[in-house]
Amino acid sequence: MAKKKPAEGAEPTGVLALLNAVAQRWRTLAVLLLVVAAAPLSERAWRSFEPRIASQPQYLVRPENVSMTPNPEWVTADVLGDVLRSSGLTQQLSVLDRRAPDLVQDAFGVHPWVASVDRVEKRYPPALHVEVTYRKPVAAIEMPGQGGSELLPIDRLGTLLPAADVPEIRRRYLPRIRGIVGRPPVGQVWTDPRVTGAAKLAHRLAAKWEELHLVDILPSARPEIRAGQRYYVYDLITRGGTRIVWGAAPDAGPQREDPFENKLNRLLAYVRQNGPLDSVLGPQSIEVRSTLLVTARTAKLPADPEDEEATKKR
């Protein structure tokens, strides 16, 4: 009896199907090996041609095609213009250059108003967009200057910001930190721990600063030491002259000292019960470190005329 031939177009079966499957796998493996082997050659070839291709005019970024996060209302400086002028970024910057994001990040990151460079986006036709987080002034260091005092703005980390970019009227309404000497370069953090502690305190009190009629932050000249811990303490001065003995900066005090929230709630409760601290009729001092301790203001009595006459005769 003759063997039946498989129908034309039918799927192979048995040993023939197995051989076809093995052959297909080997062909796939061969293609993969060829791609892997060719990849380094392609990479080396691209690297040799990259500078020539990347420098073509159609891939270069022009200054007008660079954008960044818009300035917040407290930044009046031309940050984008400053960066482009000082860095020379757009002289030969190509969107094909793999170093472009790092170059852009470095150029924008050193500007004193830029806290961080969060994203660099390359676009085509050639353009760049830079997303940044701006620094914000939270206080001003009051220091002696020519013809009077000078107010130097700082951010919440104690970074010195360009004073010329902050209108004087705005600086006058910032919390003032007094008793500080020396200064870092603009854009650098103050190394004095009293400044960093005061900046943190001003940042945390920002929402209640006007409500409490606060004006000054006075760091201690020397640190306190308790249980082996060294820290500075701060007083706050109100518009009416009341001194608030605050204690350590937030998260910097000893374990026995109350946290920031407890101190603030204690102070707010006193104001709600006794009225605002913007008048000379307020207390001389209020201590909120671990408990509420109020010292009344003592009015100076008028001098007795007879006592004054006796004093003159002595």
Per-residue pLDDT tens over the stretch 104-152? 999 999 999 999 999 999 888 888 899 999 999 999 999 987 778 899 9
Cα–Cα distance for residue pair 277/275, rounded to 1 Å: 7
Burial class of residue 10 (count of CB atoms within 10 Å of its CB; 0-12, 13-18, 19+): exposed
pLDDT at 46: 46
For 88, the token pair is 């020379």
For 1, the token pair is 């009896």
pLDDT at 137: 97
Cα–Cα distance for residue pair 180/174, rounded to 1 Å: 16
Count of beta carbons in the 10 Å neighbourhood of residue 141: 26
* Pair 174, 151: CB distance under 8 Å: yes
pLDDT at 77: 93
Rounded to two decimals, the pTM is: 0.75
pLDDT at 134: 97
> Along the chain (314 residues), what's the average pLDDT of each consecutive run of 10 residues?
53 61 57 52 51 61 89 93 86 77 91 96 88 97 85 97 93 95 94 96 96 96 88 96 96 86 96 92 93 84 49 42
pLDDT at 37: 55
Return the amino acid letter for 30.
A
pLDDT at 226: 85
Q: Mind listing the pLDDT tens digit for each residue in 161-170?
A: 999 999 999 9
Of 71, 87, 85, 88, residue with least CA distance to 165: 71
pLDDT at 17: 61
Of 211, 243, 217, residue with least CA distance to 232: 217
* Pair 273, 231: CB distance under 8 Å: no
